[in-house]
Each structure stands twice: as C-alpha cells, then as structure tokens.
Structure 1
C-alpha cells in the first residue's frame, strides 16, 4: 500500500508530540511492508517561502515545503495556502497514494483533504489537538484559562489578516474547516476526551476511532539509572504558557527546603526567559537545570536521570507523549487533571493527578514521591506494565485496519451556498441559476449562511474588498473573490439559523 503522511511540521526541524507520533507511525508502516512518503511543512524556513525541498530523514523520503511563522499564526490566514496546495497536487500525481493520513494541517491548507478526496484517494486524519475549532489550537484563552466556549472566538483572535492589510471574517476559517471535515473518510483520536470535544463542536459524529498512541520501548540500560542522593524531577516539552511550568516552579519553591531535589527542564520555547526569571525570584534558580532542546534519540537519557516526571499543563492535553515515554521508562508521573490525561494516569496507582494551576496540591504530591523511593519504584513499574501493551507498530496495525474500513457516512449539513457576482445582477429570468457561472470573479457564502430567495430577487447590492480574495473548495469555482454583502432589495435578507445577519 502507498501511504502519504501529511503533517504541518516534522522532525528534525520540529519535534513535538504530534510530530513524533507521525514519524514513528511512518517508520512502523515501512517496517510492516508499506511504501511511505511524508509531505510536511518546514517551520524553520531554509529557502524561499513555499518552495519545495526533497530530502530524507531517518530513512524516510520527505517532501518539505518551506513555511514561515506567518503561515501558522492564528492572526493570519493559516488555513489556506494555494501555493502549498499546488505542491500537494503534484505529489498526489507523482506518488499516487492509496491513502493520505493527515495529522495537524493548520499552516499548510485545510483544502488538502478535499484535493485528495477529489482524486479518489482515501483520507484519514488523526486529531492531536483542537485546530478544528480553536484558532489557537490549544483550547486556552488569552488569559491562560481553559476555554469553555462561553466567550466568542474574537476575544482571543479579534481578526484574521490576509497579509495585505485586509481582514477576513473569523467565521470563514471555521466554515472552511467544516467543509474539510466532510472530505475525511475516517477520523482517529488518541483519547476519548478529544473525540468528545470535536463532537461537541459538531465536527464529527460518534464514529471516531479511538486508537491510543504507541510508545517507544526503552531497554533496561536506559530505564535503570545509577543510584544518587539527589531526587530529580523532570519536565520535558514545549516552553509555552499553556504547559503550566510556572505552576511547577511555584511548587518546587515549596518543597525545596524539605528535600534535596533538582528540576530538569528539557525543551525550548517563548517562555524560557520567564521561567528563568521566576526561578530566580523564588530563590530556586540553583536547583533548576535548563537542558535546552534534547534530540529525541537522546531523550532516554533524561528519563534515566529523572526520578519523577511532571506535566503541569493548564490546557486540555490529548494523550501526551512525554507521559507515555516516562511510564515506559518506569518513572512515576504527576500531571494535571486535564483533557485525556486521566485516561492514562490512574491516580494513586501509576502516578498522581492534581488540579491544573494548583501549586499547593502539586507540592503535596511532589513531597509524597520525593520522600518515598519505594512508592516511586512501585508506581513506575505499574506504569511501564500499562503502556507496554501498545507499541508504535501496534498502533500502525490498528491504523491499517482503519484504512481498509468503509468510509464514515456522517456529514455536516447544510452545504455551502453560492450566489451573486461582481458584474452581474440576478434577475427574475435567471431564477435557479448561479450568476457566478457568468464571470470568473465570484462570491460564496461559507457553511450555514443561507440566502432566502436570492436567486429570484431582482438584484442584490454588493460592495468590495473588506474581505480578502480566497480560493474556495467548490469544484465549479476556480478563482473566486469573497465580497462583503451589504443588503438586498425588496426586503430579502441574508439569514443564519433563522436570524437576519
């Protein structure tokens, strides 16, 4: 089977949990006898924007599209990039895959599944975070609190720029993503929690496949560290506000006077300087060691040196790779009670769970494990026994079963509505006919925006460029321009869910 793996980032340029899973799955598929090609964003642009580089990484062929920070930023159009779509079309023609397995695609284009489906190729997507309904991908508001959908999305991202000084409606992103999801044959989620969040956002039905992430087996030499007196607590991951490392530092300050402990911080990100300043203000900078970005091939040494692994996230994690790896290495874990974490961490058995942001509760569990080496060993062994039930190769086999299953039938309704034109005014004799067929420049309304009796109206008033020119995903629209609707004559109104817009 020919399998195209598509992800917005890929090692070695970027190594987050989703990227690691995508890579390990690709390697496992090759081991199982399948032909795999990776189509990925570059993150760290090493050439002209959206140029193509063909390379190999860890024995796998990779088509790398050079991207920039703007391509991924929620403040810009990070969900549609026609130049990347052109590269994707060329890869589909040359590689001729049987299946395209998508991972995170924000920063590339949400039209990629649509292009694959139109080419008659099976499409599968693994949901690693909340990119389908959250512009920030994390489900965390700007104030650091978890989003409960009580505030509009504009409270986090007030507007989307097109890069040319114009704005596009926030609704356009959501509607284009919904249209993308209609072209996915199968959806996979590593945790039941993430599947439930997408169902609540009305992007999926109850047909999401729950396939937990695999884990790398660590041999005994990697797992068994030499004896030492100092207890070491490790955090391994991205240095971002949503990861909650500030809570861990505050908890460390409460425990450091009672135990000989050290905090290992492995990773990089925008909050690193703030972590250093906070540690200095708390008087624990001498007990914090910044390891920097650790190559994944060396990450086992960090787990070997650690006694406890902590993940204090304030966002709703899916199924964190660092916790799976820590348990594989036989280390007890302490993590926030968020998202899918309680599905893998059983409180009091293979680790402890605490309320996100509660430094006092975290300090309590740190004290328990720092003061009881026997309990650390027992919890670590239970965790190892649990996660060793599924390797990356096991996960790949489950994915292969999904590839061959009948496509899902759940679809989003209603469809996109198309109407109007720059130069043509619909009249009664044109009832039932798309005016857009008359001219190259066209208008379309995103998902769920309904126009009542538009095609029978004498004409509609249209005004130009408050919104940027974008390509749509409809086969009969080649290069449309999105316009802002001003109003209708004869009292016709544009309506959404029964309410006039």
Structure 2
C-alpha cells in the first residue's frame, strides 16, 4: 500500500515529529509512506528535517503560500498523481482543508487527522478550524487521536449526531527507545541542579506554557514537602513562561527543592532517573506523548484529569489522576505515590504493558491500515450516524 502523507509544513511540533516513528513502523507493516509538506523550506525546522532524515524519510515540499493560494489544489493534485498513491492522509487544518478537494479531483481516497483539542479561540482561527472540520467530514475517514479531542470538535463545530466517518485512532511512539531493560545513564544529579540527593525526584516534562499547569505544581510543592521534605521537583523544559516560573519559585522560597533542569534531548534517561513523572495540565491536552514515554519507561505517573489524558492513564491501574488546577489534589496524588514504593512499581509495570499494547508505533500503523482499507472501500460521501 502506498500512502501520500500531507502536512502543513515541517515545523517543530508534535504532529510533525510523529512522522518519523510513523514512517519507520509503516515500513515494517508493508506500507510505503511518502511525506510532503504544503509549504516550502522557508518555514521548515532544521531539527524536524534532521529527525525525518534519521528515520529514512526523504520529504518533499510544495510551494503553497496560504490557504487561499490559487495554485494550492493544482499543486496537490499533481503531487497525488505523481506519487501514484492508494490513499492520501493529511494532517493539520490547512492540509485537511486542501487535501479533500484535491484528492476528489485525483479520484483517490482521503483520510484526515486533527491533532489538537478544540478550545474557544480568536475569531479568525475559529473560522479556519470550522472550515477544516467541515471539509474533512467529507473525507472518507476523519481521525481524532483521543476521545476528548473528538468530543471537543463535535461540541464546538458540529450540530446533531457525530458524523459516521469520524473515528479515534491513538498516536504511537517508538517504544524501543524507552524500554525499561535498555540501560540508561543515571542523571539524577543533573535533574536536581547539581545537588546530590537521596530523596525522591519528581519530573515534570513540559513546555513552559500556560496550559501545562506548571504553576499549580509549584503551588502544591510546599504541601508535598510537609510529608516528603527531601523530594525534588525537576521541571524539564523551557519556554515563554520561564521568568514567571522562576519568580513564583523564589516567592515561595522553593529554590532548593524546585529545579529548572532545562530542555533535554535524552528523555529516556530523564524518565529512568525519576521516581515519578507528573503532568498537571489545566486544559488543551490531546494525547500527551510524555505520558506514553514515561509509562513505557516503567515509571508511575500522576496527571490531571483533563483532555485526552484519561485515554492514557487508567486511574489506579497505570497511574493516578487528580482534578485540574487543584494544588491540594495534586499534592495528595504525589504524596501517595512517593510514600508507597509498591504502588509505584505496580502502576509502572502496568503502564509498560498498556503502552506496548495501545501506544506503540506498530499498533498505531496497524490501526491506520484498517482505516486506510475502510477508506478504500467507502463511498465518497459518508453517512451520518443516527
């Protein structure tokens, strides 16, 4: 099977970097994947192109300048015909909007995937999203990567029943990188700011953005320290909120127990050096890859009950869930896990098993193959589920 994968551009983002493990797993499944961006190299991330190159992907780039570019659909139709693909699979809003009419003109089945939870947004962006989902609903299949994501798009942009061609397919991760039996260096000292400690290390891996809930974790940390005075919270990441986060840590006098560990490229070692992985997002999460990676590494996780996180974390089976934007609830979950090593081990072991079953790149591709086969067999206009 030949699949032409279309994305808006090779920017540095979650959807774009997932193309590398997807392409690698697709080859194992006998699917030939060709990856094309609508926009040219002027908006491409060098890092993303390097990641794709390391995965053996030789991407192509079109020269679509904007959504209303009059050359866009002719360029895509020509690319579909050149590729001689069996299925077109588009990712992200711009690609979804343009791929469907182009694929129809090229008489090729088309599948669309959305990658973020729909939230109230500025008017112009809302109009683009509404257009994208309305067009994608005319595709042979439209994929959402979590149940919460599908529900959010339906609530915001569709009336009536869920369209019959909408489905949920979880993304996957190259789990071989995170397997617990793969030796990793111990970097606990780096995660604690150079201070040797025998206390537990809680890693919060996230971009420093408002929806990640990092301030909630900082506000909760004095409560954690009352019961676990040697615990260290290691913030792995960086971004626009860094100064605000530093100020909050200083205001609460937490400089010795909350550490900014910076952006890391050795995440398998980060997870393995942690006692617990924490994600306190307050909104906007779809299917956070860090929780899949942490689970695959055998680490228990504590996370907020928001967005697609419950698709990954089964409460008290593979981790603990707590209510969002609630420092006391966050602290209670962290304390319970830090004080109960047996619980951490049980949840970590269960997380490994679930990651291998539901969230491996191979499982992802097998599920996509079923969607592609359904698209090949489907009529051009989907029915609406009653």
- Bin for the TM-score computed over the shorter chain: 0.7 to 0.9
Match of residue 95, structure 1, among 66, 70, 83 = 83
- The question of 1:211 aligning with 2:169 is answered yes
Other-structure match for 2:217: 248
Match of residue 101, structure 2, among 97, 114, 129 = 114
- Is contact 2:302–2:320 with CA below 8 Å preserved after alignment? yes
1:285 and 1:42 map into 2 onto residues whose CA distance is: 44
Structure 1 residues 128 and 400, CA gap change in structure 2 (3 angstroms):
same
Other-structure match for 1:484: none
Other-structure match for 1:3: 3
- The question of 1:402 aligning with 2:371 is answered yes
Other-structure match for 1:320: 288
Cα deviation, residue 213, structure 1: 2.7
* Bigger relative CO (Cα 8 Å, ≥ 6 apart): 2
- The question of 1:129 aligning with 2:87 is answered no
- The question of 1:194 aligning with 2:165 is answered no
- The question of 1:34 aligning with 2:31 is answered yes
- Is contact 2:41–2:61 with CA below 8 Å preserved after alignment? no
Q: Give SS of 1:380's match.
A: helix
Q: Residues 267-298 of structure 1, C-alpha deviation per residue, up to 9 Å, x if partnerless?
A: 33322222222222222233333343333xx2
TM-score, normalising length from structure 2?
0.81
Cα deviation, residue 246, structure 1: 1.3
- Is contact 1:222–1:304 with CA below 8 Å preserved after alignment? no
Other-structure match for 2:12: 14
- Is contact 1:81–1:109 with CA below 8 Å preserved after alignment? no
Match of residue 313, structure 2, among 345, 356, 365 = 345
- Structure 2: gaps spanning 5 or more residues: 189-196
Q: Residues 363-411 of structure 1, C-alpha deviation per residue, up to 9 Å, x if partnerless?
A: 1111112222222112111211222213211220221121111336436
Q: Residues 414-442 of structure 1, C-alpha deviation per residue, up to 9 Å, x if partnerless?
A: xxxxxxxxxxxxxxxxxxxxxxxxxxxxx
Structure 1 residues 238 and 411, CA gap change in structure 2 (3 angstroms):
farther
- The question of 1:367 aligning with 2:335 is answered yes
Q: Residues 272-329 of structure 1, C-alpha deviation per residue, up to 9 Å, x if partnerless?
A: 222222222222233333343333xx22111111111111111142222111111111
Matches within 5 A, 1:380-459: 380-390=348-358, 391-405=360-374, 406-407=377-378, 409-410=381-382
TM-score, normalising length from structure 1?
0.64
Point out the more displaced range, 351-360 or 31-40: 31-40
Count of residue correspondences? 360
Cα deviation, residue 210, structure 1: 2.8
Structure 1 residues 382 and 123, CA gap change in structure 2 (3 angstroms):
same
Structure 1 residues 85 and 366, CA gap change in structure 2 (3 angstroms):
same
Point out the more displaced range, 215-224 or 342-351: 215-224
Q: Residues 43-97 of structure 1, C-alpha deviation per residue, up to 9 Å, x if partnerless?
A: 99468xxxx9xx8452101124689xxx9xxxxxx75455655653443343232
Structure 1 residues 342 and 19, CA gap change in structure 2 (3 angstroms):
same
Q: Give SS of 1:196's match.
A: helix
Structure 1 residues 357 and 175, CA gap change in structure 2 (3 angstroms):
closer
- The question of 1:266 aligning with 2:236 is answered yes
Cα deviation, residue 263, structure 1: 2.1
- Structure 1: gaps spanning 5 or more residues: 72-77, 142-155, 161-169, 413-501
Match of residue 59, structure 1, among 44, 56, 60 = 56
Q: Residues 139-182 of structure 1, C-alpha deviation per residue, up to 9 Å, x if partnerless?
A: 1x5xxxxxxxxxxxxxx42x54xxxxxxxxx7753553244224
Structure number with the higher strand fraction is 1
- Is contact 1:45–1:66 with CA below 8 Å preserved after alignment? no
Structure 1 residues 301 and 84, CA gap change in structure 2 (3 angstroms):
farther
Match of residue 220, structure 1, among 153, 163, 180 = 180
2:31 and 2:298 map into 1 onto residues whose CA distance is: 32
2:322 and 2:86 map into 1 onto residues whose CA distance is: 44
Q: Give SS of 2:281's match.
A: coil
- Is contact 2:100–2:138 with CA below 8 Å preserved after alignment? yes
Cα deviation, residue 125, structure 1: 1.8
Q: Give SS of 2:131's match.
A: helix
Q: Give SS of 1:352's match.
A: strand
Structure 1 residues 368 and 182, CA gap change in structure 2 (3 angstroms):
closer
